[in-house]
Amino acid sequence: MDYINSQRVDRAAVLLATTDRSIAAVATAVGILDVNYFTKIFKKQLGTTPTQYRREKKAMLGH
């Protein structure tokens, strides 16, 4: 299950950095229906919340 979740988080990270979809829509797109669970595994794997991740990536890209 950890491997599957890590793959989902990797795909979600790309979507968060490249689209303006909501966090819930990104979670659903990668197959996780519970946003709280999605946030938990995202933070566990990448050390930041999806919102913070998006903000940092957009700042790096100059958006």
- All structural domains of the chain, each given as residue ranges with its CATH number in brackets, are 2-61 (1.10.10.60)
One DSSP character per residue, 1-44 reads: -HHHHHHHHHHHHHHHHH----HHHHHHHTT---HHHHHHHHHH
Q: How far is CA 5 from CA 44, 46, 53, 59, in A?
A: 10, 12, 17, 26
Per-position pLDDT tens, the chain of length 63: 899 999 999 999 999 999 999 999 999 999 999 999 999 999 999 999 999 999 999 888 776
Q: What pLDDT, on the 0 to 100 scale, is given for residue 61?
A: 74
Give the angle 49-30-53 at the CA atoms, nearest 5°: 20
Q: What pLDDT, on the 0 to 100 scale, is given for residue 62?
A: 72
Full-model pTM: 0.89
